[in-house]
Chains A and B, each alone.
Chain A
Amino acid sequence: MSNKWFNGLLILAILAGLIDLGHTFHLGYHKHMVFETPEVWINFYGFFGLIAALLVVMGAIILRAVVGARDGGGV
């Protein structure tokens, strides 16, 4: 992936995160919204996405190292 595409993705992700934070702030402090579901008061979506990507790839690297078998290993 070229720098141009990666930087574009980075800007978009940060922008989405900031807008989401602003939206939550708006809901919480200006509209006094009742936080009755976790959907409203948890605002770590970007964190979830980032961690999910890192964990799943790292997990796969470990899995391949532990149980990976070349050419199927007769399995």
Chain B
Amino acid sequence: MSIIDLPPGMVLILAAMVAVFLPHNIRRIVLIGAPVFGFLQLIDFPPVAISASFFGMELTTVRVDGLSLVWGYIFYIAAFISGIYHMHVNDRMQDVAALSYMGSAIGVVFAGDLVTLFVYWELTAITSVFLIFANRTEESYQAGMRYLLVQIASGVLLLGGIVMFWQEKGTVAFTAMELDGLATWLILLGFGVKAAFPLLHTWLPDAYPQGTVSGTVILSSFTTKMAIYTLVRGFPGTEILIWIGVIMALFPLVFAMAENDLRRTLAYSLNTQLGFMVVAVGIGSDLAINGVAAHAFAHILYKSLLFMAVGSVLYRTGTAKVSELGGQWPNMKLTAILCMIGALSMSAPLFASFVSKSLILSSVAKDQQLLVWILLLFAAAAVFVNSGLKVPYAIFFAKPRGGQPREAKREPANMTLAMIIGAVLCIGVGSPWGYQYLYDILPNQMEYAPYTFGHVITQLQLLLFAALGFFWLVRSGRYPFENGAAIRDVDWIVRVPVMRVVLAINAFLGAAGRLVRSGLVECVHAVIDLADRIVGSNGVAARHVMVGTGVLWLMVMLLGYLLVYLF
């Protein structure tokens, strides 16, 4: 097998193994060279299914088709942009973790069976956590451990489901499944944890803001979108996903608005966009599946651009908190423009998401899901407000909270370059002249024209009125209101009351254990004392007695035995 024949994703994993031994200058060439090589390899990769036998199971270790290719292309593009953004960082651990994590995520989307999928799935969990640990703070360590626990739990659910699925169906092929038993429910839950289903989502806003500046950019592109791919592949048309998706799209809206940490704001906003994709998976029509693929593609581009912009602000000013920012426009005009391109790419005409999210909304409308459609429309406007308007406004245009804007140091040129590439792609994919390139790689044939007069004007109306409402609240003094306080999500239940109960049980069991141990020790001491009194050097049995006395005692014992025997 030559390197050209390697499974997609393996190029990055091998690059990670090599990077362990390389100096920084060569490592950063590997960081951007490996994704380019992988992308070129993928372009030439024929539609194929490579099979192998493993412990009696027929595995399809590589499956290249229209659906997996969309994710493969965008993952390599994201790896390339992230590599450029990250290349000034001289940290071997981050480089190796990033390459192996991105390679594993690509491995997931080309896995044709559940066993291969599981192996890559777990690799993404184990490798990605180092991008959080790499921040090397107590908070990032704790968030990383929580993240790891959740990710491993997802793997355990998935493994349990796969084993049961194999026993029931006699196959581990990764194709569309029905929710007809515990096995598929477990698999869906395993996917759902990484896709940030409602109540399983808290790892997302908890962990992503604790990553390093570039680590968070990398994390934002892969794990959740990989999980969306598995849902598209495994559960298209599963109706329960429609309402799961609606809840995902709606509940983070207020959290994103209320958050003080802008990376947490973006994480919640990311969760909303995942909701759109999950709804479309639930719809399951050709148009909806195309919508998921297109929106995953566009979302990776613009969300990573937003994370890069906020990361840049964090790098230059030392904070990403609304309560410490404001008035940065004179200091970082280019970053502001790039950030606004990322923000407009959420919905506005000429930008990425305009041509992708509309596929999802149209598929919902065509499926006659009126209420779902209305709720998604509401979510689309609200997410534009809570991150599309809030993020650039809070950083660049709001009055500085401390009276004066914070000092901003210069950023490395590679960070700026990565953001420019991201912005160009956001415009390129969403423009009337570029969207067809995206549509051409979608898995299903369709006739869809996003740039109709009605669509453009309605979208403009939606966004302009949303902006009007937001800025009216700004002028009336009701916003901004962030004051440095943190917002509790539902994980507060686990982290505070449940943790208190666990600690109380732990303390109780510890005390009981100590009590039992001390009781046992006392018992043992008592037995030893007793034995010592009987057979010790001064014990009864050790005394010197006359032979006659001994015979007398023997007779007494025999007499006792005789009495017992007779009566």
A residues neighboring B (CB under 8 Å): 1, 5-6, 9-10, 12-13, 16-17, 19-20, 23, 27, 37-40, 42-43, 45-57, 59-61, 63-64, 67-75
* CB–CB A47/B465 < 8 A: yes
B467 close to chain A: CB less than 8 A: yes
* CB–CB B461/A52 < 8 A: no
Bound Cα distance A50, B474 (Å):
14
> Which of B465, B470, B481, B486 contacts A46 (CB under 8 A)?
B465
**Of B47-55, B93-101, B379-387, which binds chain A?**
B379-387
* CB–CB B488/A56 < 8 A: no
Bound Cα distance A30, B386 (Å):
39
* Contact partners of B457 in chain A: CB under 8 A: 16, 19-20, 23
- Min CB distance A51 to B, Å, is 7
Bound Cα distance A38, B362 (Å):
9
* CB–CB B485/A52 < 8 A: no
* Contact partners of A70 in chain B: CB under 8 A: 483-486
Beyond A23-B457, A59-B254, list 6 extra A-B contacts (CB 8 Å): A16-B457, A52-B378, A52-B385, A60-B255, A67-B488, A75-B496
* CB–CB A57/B487 < 8 A: no
> Which of A13, A40, A56, A63 contacts B468 (CB under 8 A)?
A13
Bound Cα distance A43, B495 (Å):
45
Residue of A nearest to B466 (CB): A49
* Contact partners of A49 in chain B: CB under 8 A: 381, 461-469
- Supposing A37-B365, A60-B257, A67-B492 touch, asked if A23 and B469 sit within 8 A by C-beta, the answer is no
Q: Which of B253, B373, B460 has the most CB of A within 10 A?
A: B460
* Contact partners of B465 in chain A: CB under 8 A: 13, 16-17, 45-50, 53
B544 close to chain A: CB less than 8 A: no
* CB–CB A9/B473 < 8 A: no
* CB–CB A73/B486 < 8 A: yes
* CB–CB A53/B469 < 8 A: yes
Interface SS, A side: helix
* Contact partners of B471 in chain A: CB under 8 A: 1, 5-6, 9
Bound Cα distance A51, B468 (Å):
10
* Contact partners of B257 in chain A: CB under 8 A: 56-57, 59-60
Q: What 9 pairs across the A-B complex have the smallest Cβ distances?
A: A53-B469, A49-B465, A52-B381, A49-B466, A60-B257, A60-B258, A13-B464, A59-B254, A72-B486
B330 close to chain A: CB less than 8 A: no
* CB–CB A13/B461 < 8 A: yes
> Which of A20, A47, A63, A75 contacts B258 (CB under 8 A)?
A63
* CB–CB B479/A20 < 8 A: no
Bound Cα distance A64, B322 (Å):
14
Interface membership of chain B positions 487-523, coded 1 if the CB is closer than 8 angstroms to chain A and 0 otherwise: 1100010011000000000000000000000000000
- Min CB distance A20 to B, Å, is 5
> Which of B258, B365, B496 contacts A68 (CB under 8 A)?
B258
* CB–CB B466/A68 < 8 A: no
* CB–CB A69/B254 < 8 A: no
* CB–CB A39/B484 < 8 A: no
* Contact partners of A10 in chain B: CB under 8 A: 468
* Contact partners of A6 in chain B: CB under 8 A: 471-472, 475
Residue of B nearest to A39 (CB): B365
Bound Cα distance A52, B317 (Å):
32
- Supposing A59-B257, A67-B487 touch, asked if A53 and B462 sit within 8 A by C-beta, the answer is no
Bound Cα distance A61, B485 (Å):
12
* Contact partners of A55 in chain B: CB under 8 A: 382
346-396 of chain B: CB within 8 A of chain A = 361-362, 365-366, 370, 373-374, 377-379, 381-382, 385-386
* CB–CB B253/A56 < 8 A: yes
Q: Which of A17, A39, A49, A75 has the most CB of B within 10 A?
A: A49
- Supposing A48-B378, A75-B486, A75-B495 touch, asked if A53 and B385 sit within 8 A by C-beta, the answer is yes
* Contact partners of A9 in chain B: CB under 8 A: 464, 467-468, 471
- Min CB distance A64 to B, Å, is 5
* Contact partners of A45 in chain B: CB under 8 A: 377, 458-459, 461-462, 465
- Min CB distance B230 to A, Å, is 30
B454 close to chain A: CB less than 8 A: yes
* CB–CB B495/A52 < 8 A: no
* CB–CB A53/B362 < 8 A: no
* Contact partners of B362 in chain A: CB under 8 A: 37, 39
* CB–CB B467/A57 < 8 A: no
- Supposing A39-B362, A54-B469 touch, asked if A16 and B255 sit within 8 A by C-beta, the answer is no
- Min CB distance A46 to B, Å, is 4
- Min CB distance B288 to A, Å, is 14
* Contact partners of A39 in chain B: CB under 8 A: 361-362, 365, 373, 458
* CB–CB A23/B373 < 8 A: no
* CB–CB B464/A63 < 8 A: no
Bound Cα distance A25, B483 (Å):
47
Interface membership of chain B positions 321-352, coded 1 if the CB is closer than 8 angstroms to chain A and 0 otherwise: 00000000000000000000000000000000
